[in-house]
Amino acid sequence: MKISEDKFVALTYDLTVETEQEGERELMERATEEHPLSFIFGMGMMLEAFEKNIEGLHTGDTFSFILSPEEAYGEFIQENVVELPKKIFEVDGKFNDEEIAEGVTLPMTDAQGNRLMGSVLEIKPDVVVMDFNHPLAGETLYFDGTVIDVHEVTPQEIAAMTQNDGSACSHCHSGDESSCAGCH
């Protein structure tokens, strides 16, 4: 069976990005046979360019492709790095420096009620510097992997994969969809 619309797909892959060293790449994410990337093809769960590169493949096929920033998560936008008043992170008048720390990714809501994921870059005396770019914004993504399963999707698989908001893939165990490189 080949990867096509409404098929269940499971993949292993290594995702690498270029480093500052010429010609070297850093491993950013790995999906293994024990924890594969699993999704329903054509349901908008994955990046469009990611799906185009695996469409038509069969179980056992290998793949290797590159996604430009424009095809993946866009360019890094400096305006998405903002300073927010430290007071908005307080609970009962206290700043929780265990949960709000450099490197932590937090769910936030903008003035229009949209859910955003932001990474804490720095904590200053009166503000928290947050980056609302996708963690892979501005990066060229290199995918190398293998298709380990393709089959007709079952109602149980549809229910399991759409339990949140219909866009999560099963590889995103943590609930932090921003960490799942192929996901939309």
- β-pair type (127-131, 81-85): antiparallel
Average pLDDT score, the chain = 89
Domain 7-73+138-179 indexed as CATH 3.40.710.10:
no
Exposed / middle / buried, residue 27 (Cβ in 10 Å: 0-12, 13-18, 19+): exposed
pLDDT of residue 23: 84
Q: pLDDT value at position 57?
A: 98
Residues in a beta bridge with 174: none
Residue 183: band (very low, low, confident or very high) from pLDDT cuts 50, 70, 90: low
User: pLDDT tens digits for 112-157?
Assistant: 999 999 999 999 999 999 999 999 999 999 999 999 999 999 999 8
Domain boundaries, the chain: 7-73+138-179, 78-131
Residue 161 pLDDT level (bands cut at 50, 70, 90): confident
Name every residue whose Cβ is closer than 8 Å to that of residue 178 and which is 6 or more positions away in sequence. Answer: 105, 117, 134, 135
CATH pick for 78-131 out of 3.30.420, 2.40.10, 3.30.43, 1.10.3470: 2.40.10
pTM value? 0.78
